Amino acid sequence: MRPIRAACLGTATSLVALLACAPVASAATGSDSGHDKDKDRVITLIGRLAQQTRFPVNPGGAAAQGDRTVFRSVLFDQEGKEVGETDGTCTTTRVDNGGAEECLVTYTLPGGQLAVQGMVFGNLVPGPPPSFDNAITGGTGKYDRARGSVHADTIGTGTRRFTIDLDR
């Protein structure tokens, strides 16, 4: 995430996105069960930033360790159908060497939720928010005991593509 730049999508954000994964139903994965242990599943979604609030340590000043961003993004499948959302927070841990943030994000999808966390590096470098990879640390419902990763790429202002790779 980018502190002080409202037009940019957070991680997971911006896991928001935080964030930015083909259709999310079982048809998108070719699997009837979220607990199918024999197949890896890849879900591709587009996340559009819906809300973002920054809580700077030094209001009006330079970025600082401890700055926080809270965000929510709406998730869409490749056909443009709304399928869920991401909600999360990112905390600045480093302001030198381009900056770094630790992010915690929840992806709410049909049938359950995915918990994702990890670092985003280069968040203070001018330009589009950087790509990142975060770990899937668990889930609920059809994503119970999920593991894997989320890769996010910025594809437009306030928009990310999230590629969720579920290891089963």
pLDDT tens readout for residues 111-127: 999 999 999 999 999 99
Q: Which of 31-35, 109-113, 153-157 has the lowest mean pLDDT?
A: 31-35
pLDDT value for 131:
96
**Radius of gyration of the chain from Cα atoms?**
15
Q: What is the pLDDT of residue 1?
A: 41
Residue with tokens 């419902």: 141
CA-to-CA distance for 54 and 70, rounded, in angstroms? 6
| pLDDT score for 32 | 41
What pLDDT, on the 0 to 100 scale, is given for residue 100?
Answer: 98
pTM over 0.85: no
Residues 30-55 have a mean pLDDT of 76
- Integer Cα distance of 101 and 90 in angstroms: 6
Predicted local distance difference test score (pLDDT) of residue 39? 56
CB contact burial 112-148 (16+ within 10 A = b; e otherwise): bbbbbbbbbbbbbeeeebbebebebeebbebbeebeb
Cβ atoms 76, 46 nearer than 8 A: yes
SS3 64: coil
For residues 88 and 29, is the Cβ–Cβ distance under 8 A? no
- Residue 18: what pLDDT? 34
> What residue type is 127 in one-letter code?
G
Q: State the average pLDDT over residues 87-112.
A: 97
Average pLDDT over residues 91-111: 97
Return the percentage of the chain with pLDDT > 70, whole number.
76
Which pLDDT tens digit goes with each residue over 3-17? 433 333 333 333 333
